[in-house]
Amino acid sequence: MILTAVIGALAALGVLVLARPFLGAQRSGSRIGARIRRPLVVLVAAAAALGVSALLLQSPPAPVPAASASSSAPDAQPTAPDPAAARAAARAAARTAARAAVAAAVQGVHRHPRRIAAHLSLARSYAAADRPQLATVEYLAVVHLQPGDPEANTALALAAFRSGRFRTAVRMLDVALRTRPGYPEALYTRGLVEAMGLNRPAAARRDLHAYLRAAPFGSHRTTVATVLALLDSRSRR
């Protein structure tokens, strides 16, 4: 506001300076005209000052730079990630990946219906997608094509063990170990069946220790140690 008033005054002063020669001009027989000229010039100067002030007041204010506006705002605190949302996103991504793997494996079986590797890949994909019944169907297809396949026989033996068919499970595991002696998954599964299903502690210890020798860093070593400790505690009673 003060700057606008100053600029308006300077405009009025400029009008007066420009009109000074006009005011000082002497014309014969024009006394009345001189009297009119002086207030007229003052009126024009005032109008010029008001016009300049009005233009300045109507002009929009200069925009505030984004940097200065942001610098005046308080520091924004980063939002902490939501653990539940992160877990849900991870589960959704895992489900999507599992479905994609199943679809690719299905196409592989369609292209090569008698290829063992294609059926095994599909069975693993179904198992990873938590579809155990379809995985069992594919393992059965493998056994039909190649009766001694160790992976398929071990997977079917584990399914039989879970359903309470312990002797059937042991027979399948025997076939797997005849085809591939020392196969860790078969040793582990047969040890579980002998310990938990058939109550054969000596045979169970033999197979479980054989598993630890075959796979000292295997994924089942914690379970094997637990089962062996349980068998030892039973023998001391």
Residue count (the chain): 237
Domain ranges of the chain: 92-146, 149-237
CB 203, CB 228: distance < 8 Å: no
Which pLDDT does position 113 carry in this prediction?
A: 96
Cβ neighbors of 68 (< 8 A, separation 6 or more) are none
Distance CA 195, CA 185 (A): 15
Q: What is the mean pLDDT of residues 157-184?
A: 97
Distance CA 214, CA 185 (A): 10
Q: Which of 15-19, 137-141, 213-217 has the lowest mean pLDDT?
A: 15-19
Which pLDDT does position 60 carry in this prediction?
A: 52
Top-confidence residue, 26 or 149? 149
Is pTM beyond 0.75? Reply is no
Cβ neighbors of 103 (< 8 A, separation 6 or more) are none
Tell me the pLDDT band of 24, cut-offs 50, 70 and 90: low
Q: What is the mean pLDDT of residues 139-146?
A: 97
Question: Is 30 a residue whose pLDDT tops 90?
Answer: no
CB 191, CB 224: distance < 8 Å: yes
| Identity at 6, one-letter amino acid code | V
For 149-237, which CATH class? mainly alpha
Which pLDDT does position 61 carry in this prediction?
A: 52
Which pLDDT does position 236 carry in this prediction?
A: 80
Question: Is 198 a residue whose pLDDT tops 50?
Answer: yes
Q: Which residue has the tokens 């002696």?
A: 181
Which pLDDT does position 76 carry in this prediction?
A: 59
Question: Is 8 a residue whose pLDDT tops 80?
Answer: no
Which pLDDT does position 80 carry in this prediction?
A: 75
20: closest CA among 36, 35, 42?
Answer: 42
Q: Which of 14-18, 57-61, 189-193 has the lowest mean pLDDT?
A: 14-18
* Mean per-residue pLDDT of the chain: 80
Q: For the residues of 194-234, what is the DSSP string, one character each?
A: IIIIS--HHHHHHHHHHHHHH-TT-TTHHHHHHHHHHHHHH
Which pLDDT does position 126 carry in this prediction?
A: 97
